[in-house]
Structures are given as C-alpha cells and as structure tokens.
Structure 1
C-alpha cells in the first residue's frame, strides 16, 4: 500500500531543483496554484503544461513517476469529467441519445477541470519528490514566521504539519499489516465482493485509528521526556539559505504566471 502512494515520497536525484531552498519551492507552488486557476483557455493550459514538463525534466525524475502520482485520483478525475459533460450545455451537439446530448461546451469544461487537476497533482508531487518532510516543515515555519505578530503560531503549525507528514507512511504500514493478518485468516480483500470489501475496509478503520492514537501518545511522551517546548530557542543543523538560484527559480514562475494571466485577459 505504501509503495502505491508516491506523493510525499522523496526521490533524491541530486538535481538543481533538489538543492534549492524549500521556501523557494513552496513559493513556486503557490504561484503555480494561481496559474492553474488563472488558465482559462487551451492555449494557457498548453503553455502551462510545457512549463511544467520543463521543470519536471530539470528534476531528473522520470515523467512516468509524475503520471503514477495521479493514479489514485483517476476515478475522481473521470467523475469530474462526466459531471461537467452532463451539467454544462452549450455549443454544438457532439453526441445525442434520446433526450440526452453531449455538447462541446460540456466536453471543454470537463477537459479544463481534468487537465487542471492533473497538472496541480503532478506539480505537488514534484514538490514532495524533491523536498524531504523535514525541509518542508522548516520552510513552512520560515514562511509563517513574519505572521506571528498577527497571532499565527508558526512553530506550532509547522510542527503539526511535520508530524502529519511522518504519520502517513506509518499509518499505511499499520493498515497493510492488519490487512495481511486478516488475509492469513481467510479474509482476503482481493477475493471479496464489493459489499464485502466495503465492510472489511470499514472494520479496518477502528484498529488503524486506535493505532494512530497510540502512536500519538507515544510521540507526546517521548517529546516531553526530552524536554521539548514550543517557543524554546533552538538552532538548525542545516539553516536555510536563499541564493541567486532561488531568485531565478521564483522569477521564472512569476514570469509564467504573468503570461498565463495575460493570455486569459486576451
């Protein structure tokens, strides 16, 4: 189960993108989200796709890994496509069957939605492929630090995010262990019908949830025994450093964002 989840996994290839400051990559991710929402034409989406593929190539990670990252959401993307095709009417009629008909506007709206979702998920995978959870946690704390005067607890939020990222693989491993134990007793998930699979997965939630709370209690006791305190002064083993490469990287995203917005306005 853990091997099927690619988002959140670090794939270190030693590329220039891997060596960038994580704050630059998180800033680029925010700009990319703006670009995805601002892309309202096929020309803008194609330009954004070409830019995304270029950044992915710079990571030296095979493109098939980014395609695999969207696999868990393919059924959701198909559902969104179907809903858009059924709900949006307009343009020319492409297919007609009785009272139902598929219009070009509905197909275009579905294509926009699916392509946007695919690009966003793939680029989110790029962020996690090139940045370790510890670096993401440190970058989030650094970016939220200026907002502490507004009452936003930067260290607390970054700690919660870091613990959540580390708990995901642990919970998946525990769920896989329980499923193997159930399969050894004759309850193989692959051989059950759909109703049986639903009941088995529902029953799986209870031990997984109990295990997650047990891990949380153990982690709390461990942190308290080591004297961890929120707000205590501490140093960093690898302090963040913003250089010229980070400026060029973020600048490229700013320029692409302006291009996408300009295409949308014309």
Structure 2
C-alpha cells in the first residue's frame, strides 16, 4: 500500500529543479494553480498542457509517474465527467436514453474539467517529487514569515505540515498491518464482494484512528522530553539561499500565467 502512494514521496534525480529553493517551487505551484483556473478555453488549456510537460521533463522523472499521482482520483474524475455530460446542454445530441441525453457541449465541458483536474494533481506532485519534507517545511515557514505581524505563527504551520507528511506513510503501514491480520484470519479483502469490502473498510477506520492518536501522543511526549518549544530561537542546518535560478524559474511561471490570461481574453 505504501509503495502505491506517490504524493509526498521524494524522487531524487539530481535535476536542476531539485536544487531550486523550495520557496521558489511553492510560489510556482501557486502561480500554476492560478493558471489552471484562468485557462477558460481549449487553446489556453493546450498551451498550459505543453508547458506542464516541458517542466515535468526537466525534472528527469518519467511522465507516467506524474500520471500515476492522479490515478487515485480517477473515480472522482469519472463522476465529474458524468455530471457535466448530464447537466450541460447544448450542441448536438450524442446519446439519449429516455428523458436523459448527452450533448456535445456537456461532453466538452466534462472533458475540459477532467483535463484541468489531471493537470492540477499531476503537476502539483512535482513539488513533493523534487522537495524533501524538511526543505518543504523550511519553504512554508519562509513564505509565511511576513505574516507574523498579524499573529500567524509560520513555525507552527510548518511543524503541522511536516508532521502530517510524515504521518501519512506511518498510518498506511498501520492499515496494511491490520489488513494482513484480517487476511490471516480468513477475511481477504481481494476475494470479498463490494458490500463486504465497504464493511471491512469501515471497521478498519477505528483501529487506524486509534493508532494515529497513539502515535501523536508518543510524538508529543518525545518532543516535550527533549525540551522542544515553539518560538524558541534556533538555527537551520541548511539555510535557504535564493539565487538567480530561483528568480528565473518563478519568472517563467509569471510569464506563462500572463500568456494564459491573454489567450483567455482573445
């Protein structure tokens, strides 16, 4: 189960993108999300797709790895496609069944929504593929540093982000252990019908949740025993250094964002 999880996993290929400042990559991801929202036509979306492939290829990570990151959401994508096909009317009637019919406008709207979701999920996986959890925490803390003037603690948010990323594989390991214990007692999920699988998954939530709370309590006790205190002055083992490459990387995303907005207004 843990091997199937791609989001949150570092894939170090030594590419130039891996060596960028995490603050630059976080800024680029925010700009990319704005581009996905601003792309309101097929030419803008296709241009954004080509741009995404170029940036993904620069990380030296296979494209199929990015597509696998969006695979867990395939059911949601199918649901969105069906809803759009049935809700949006216009154009030619492609299929009909009683009072229900699928029009070309609905199919186009559904395909457009699915492509946008695939791009957003696949491309934002680049952030975790090229950035270690520690660097990501430093980047989040660095970007939120100006908000200390209005009472927001960047250190607290960075700590929450780091613990959440590290808890994901731990919780998956706990779930896999429980599923193996159930299979050893004859309850193999692969051989059960869908109703029984749903019932087993519901029963799985209780021990996994209890285990997560137990790990959280152990982590809290461990941090307190070592004298960890939020807000205490501390140094960084590897301080973040912004370079001209980071500026260029962000500038490329700003330029692409302007192009997408301009195409949308044509």
- The normalised TM-score by structure 2 is 0.98
Alignment partner, residue 41 of structure 2: 41
1:70 Cα deviation after fit:
1.0
Alignment partner, residue 196 of structure 1: 196
Q: 1:102 is paired with a residue of what secondary structure?
A: strand
1:124 Cα deviation after fit:
1.3
Alignment partner, residue 81 of structure 2: 81
1:153 Cα deviation after fit:
1.4
1:94 Cα deviation after fit:
2.3
Alignment of 1:56 onto 2:68: no
Q: How does 1:43-192 map to 2 (within 5 A)?
A: 43-192=43-192
Separation of aligned partners in 1, 2:26 and 2:68: 22
Gaps of 5+ in 2: none
1:151 Cα deviation after fit:
1.4
Alpha carbon RMSD of aligned pairs, Å?
A: 0.8
**Which whole-Å deviations, capped at 9, do the CAs of 1:217-259 have from their partners, x for residues lacking one?**
0100110011100000000011001101000100000000000
Q: Which consecutive aligned stretches of 4+ in structure 1 deviate over 3 angstroms post-superposition?
A: none
Give the length in aligned residue pairs. 266
Separation of aligned partners in 1, 2:233 and 2:159: 15
1:103 Cα deviation after fit:
1.1
Separation of aligned partners in 1, 2:197 and 2:155: 41
Alignment of 1:243 onto 2:243: yes
Contact in 2 for aligned 1:7/1:124 (Cα 8 Å): no
- The normalised TM-score by structure 1 is 0.98
1:11 Cα deviation after fit:
0.3
1:67 Cα deviation after fit:
1.1
Gaps of 5+ in 1: none
